[in-house]
Amino acid sequence: MQMSDSWPAMAFEVWEEGEMLRLLLRNKASIDMRVMKDILRSMDLLDPRGARPVLVEQEDLVCMSSEARILLVRACRNGHRPVGFLAHDLPERIQGEFFARFHRPPFPFRVFGFREEAEHWLLGQRAMLVFSLS
């Protein structure tokens, strides 16, 4: 039996990288409310204070339900955790910009085309947050 037959494919990966968290939405992932709850729990386990910025990337054909997007915005209503969305192509950029304009997340959110640009903005946002909390 192949491993892929016995284990369901993970829809996402979350890990620490320097001063930020990284979130990768896997290829052909379907992000529903259950998966979104798992993502939020994973983030809280790695950063219980919710102060570390997050760099989000997605592989091809990721689909997120409207309920999952609404849950994300509601769950992060009082959050200050900045989120940078790395868009590798035009459809991803459109998806990120739509999320920002339609859902108006209460946390700092921007779409980027280059990782270095996203990391620079995220670390700047983190510095401002640390300064404001001190």
Are 80 and 109 in contact by the 8 Å Cβ rule? The answer is no
Model pTM? 0.85
As given in the structure block, the two tokens for residue 122 are 């995220």
Q: What is the pLDDT of residue 118?
A: 96
As given in the structure block, the two tokens for residue 114 are 């280059």
As given in the structure block, the two tokens for residue 112 are 């980027």
As given in the structure block, the two tokens for residue 106 are 């209460």
Residue position matching structure tokens 């959110």: 109
Q: What is the pLDDT of residue 131?
A: 59
pLDDT along the chain (134 residues), means of 10: 51 94 93 94 91 91 89 81 93 91 89 96 82 57
Domains recognised in the chain with CATH numbers: 3-133 (3.30.750.24)
Rounded Cα distance between 20 and 113, Å, is 18
Q: What is the pLDDT of residue 9?
A: 67
Q: What is the pLDDT of residue 130?
A: 63
